[in-house]
Structure 1
Amino acid sequence: MAAKDELGRAGEERAAQYLIANGYAVLARNWRCSQGEIDIVAASGTHLAVVEVKTRRTAAYGHPFEAVDRRKLRRLWQLAQAWVSAHPDRTRNLTLRIDAIGIIGPDPSRGSLEHLVDIA
């Protein structure tokens, strides 16, 4: 596995553990459909969050959140709708939102983590 892929997977694991520690129920990880992939789907209270995780070793080339641009947000909404359509029994009475988690550090398990809630 390429170092970039390992970094991404480690970041997603850290993000999932962070969400669980903060009271979220992780419903899916790396969910795929014909339109693409959702990193994490998690529920908290009355909210269903589709979470995009971006992990970087350093911020030398920009903050991880800079990669979540308008085009990426549009795709995340499409993927979120696809997930809801595929799992109607798990999404009743939940408000859908898009979140982002950015992790910076050579070791994602100890890097700085930021969680943006309801970014679009």
Structure 2
Amino acid sequence: MNNKILGAKGEQAAALYLENHGYFIRERNYRAKTGEIDIIASKGDTISFVEVKTRGSMNYGTPAEAVNYYKQQKIVRTAQAYIRYKGLHDYCYRFDVLEVLAPKSGAMSFRLIENAFEAG
């Protein structure tokens, strides 16, 4: 399976995982001039900007390790644009990474890292 198909499959499964854990999915694949956010979800008064990283194995480290400083800054800028555009200044925010492991044999597994990084 190529990386694009694996990533799309992982994002779909990640959205279902979040919904099953009490999150409301506000947006998927939100795009702005500054970049893209895989999933924007809310639970209570908190909005989570979720970067989904899907891998078939841990051969090259954890999926979250791929969310480097440069990628984090793009997500932060895009989140700020989303907040301004939607007028959502009265919410709490956080940046999460949802790791999806999808081995060729076996079931997918998930690890949600809340507050994986901060703005600034």
Cross-structure match for 2:57: 58
Please provide the CA RMSD for this pair.
1.6
Q: Cα deviation per residue 1:17-52 (whole Å; 9 max; x = unaligned)? A: 011011110000001111111100000011000000
- Of 99, 102, 109, 1:112 maps to 109
Shift of the alpha carbon at 1:68? 1.1
Q: Which amino acid aligns with 1:112?
A: S
Cross-structure match for 2:32: 33
Cross-structure match for 1:100: 97
Gaps (5+ residues) in structure 2? none
Q: Which amino acid aligns with 1:87?
A: K
Paired residue secondary structure (2:116): coil
TM-score, normalisation: structure 1: 0.90
Shift of the alpha carbon at 1:58? 0.6
CA distance in 1: counterparts of 2:73 and 2:35, whole angstroms = 12
Q: Which amino acid aligns with 2:113?
A: L
CA distance in 1: counterparts of 2:103 and 2:9, whole angstroms = 11
Cross-structure match for 1:43: 42
Cross-structure match for 1:10: 9
CA contact (8 A) 2:10 2:102 kept: no
CA distance in 1: counterparts of 2:69 and 2:18, whole angstroms = 24
Identity of aligned residues (%): 34
Cross-structure match for 2:84: 85
Gaps (5+ residues) in structure 1? none
Aligned pairs, how many? Answer: 116
Shift of the alpha carbon at 1:74? 1.4
